[in-house]
A and B are shown apart, each in its own frame.
Chain A
């Protein structure tokens, strides 16, 4: 299964993510999930970024929170709303929202 997971919160998502198995996993950070991509708590990147996945972050939600490219982890790609639509229709079979 090719699964895209929208991570919309900064807390309480890591355990659930650990349990999700997919042949191809994409993690899309939206809303407060963008903090996983841009904030280093105690100098360490979010544990979510250790998952075997492709990582994306919604640019509008980064900008809304005053975060930008400079804050981003290297493995995360910035995308737009239309990119999300492309991912859903072209790259993944299922989506989940955390």
Chain B
């Protein structure tokens, strides 16, 4: 039985490019590979928002209303619904004078039990060290 750990690091602001949203899409899709795995094998995905990437987490995004696009906010909520570990860098939030109140923390309306965690960068570094594959977006 083996677990393959994937770490998705989002370091850019969203919308100007699809990059950050793709990171989350890939993290979510990594959970659908079970048919290719041996019994008992697992693939886990952690997502960390760092640097300008924390701007993706600001809540009340209206991408669907304004442009007919699914918002990065909804992607983050979907990843919480799938119990992915979502981390947001505490220092980078503070750099933009943002707090937990300003960002997507849960997806209670979808029935998700998992919540995003605001953590020091040292904890994100620790997570990165534990990963088999790191993907930067």
Q: Given that A11-B52, A35-B55 are known contacts, is A64 also in contact with B96, CB under 8 Å in the complex? A: no
Chain A contact-residue range equals 20 to 34
Q: Given that A9-B16, A65-B61 are known contacts, is A39 also in contact with B71, CB under 8 Å in the complex? A: no
Whether B66 pairs with A67 at a CB distance below 8 angstroms is: no
Q: Give complex CA distance A82, B58 in Å.
A: 27
Those of B58-92 within 8 Å (CB) of chain A: 58-63, 65-67, 69, 71, 73
Q: Give complex CA distance A63, B63 in Å.
A: 7
Query: Measuring CB to CB, which residues of chain B are less than 8 angstroms from any residue of chain A?
Result: 13-16, 52, 55, 58-63, 65-67, 69, 71, 73, 95-97
A42 touches B (CB below 8 Å): yes
A-B contact count (CB 8 A): 53
With both beta carbons as reference points, the residue of chain B lying nearest to A9 in the complex is identified as B16
Q: Given that A39-B55, A40-B97 are known contacts, is A63 also in contact with B16, CB under 8 Å in the complex? A: no
Shortest B51–chain A CB gap in Å is 10
State which of A32, A43, A63, A68 has its C-beta within 8 Å of the C-beta of B13: A32
Q: Give complex CA distance A31, B60 in Å.
A: 16
Those of A35-61 within 8 Å (CB) of chain B: 35, 39-43, 60-61
Whether A60 pairs with B67 at a CB distance below 8 angstroms is: yes
Query: Measuring CB to CB, which residues of chain A are less than 8 angstroms from any residue of chain B?
Result: 8-11, 31-32, 35, 39-43, 60-61, 63-68
Whether A39 pairs with B59 at a CB distance below 8 angstroms is: no
Whether B58 pairs with A10 at a CB distance below 8 angstroms is: no
Whether B52 pairs with A65 at a CB distance below 8 angstroms is: no
Q: Give complex CA distance A39, B62 in Å.
A: 18
| Known A11-B52, A35-B55, A64-B67; 14 more pairs at CB < 8 Å | A8-B16, A10-B16, A10-B55, A32-B15, A32-B16, A40-B97, A41-B96, A63-B61, A63-B62, A63-B65, A64-B61, A66-B58, A66-B62, A68-B60
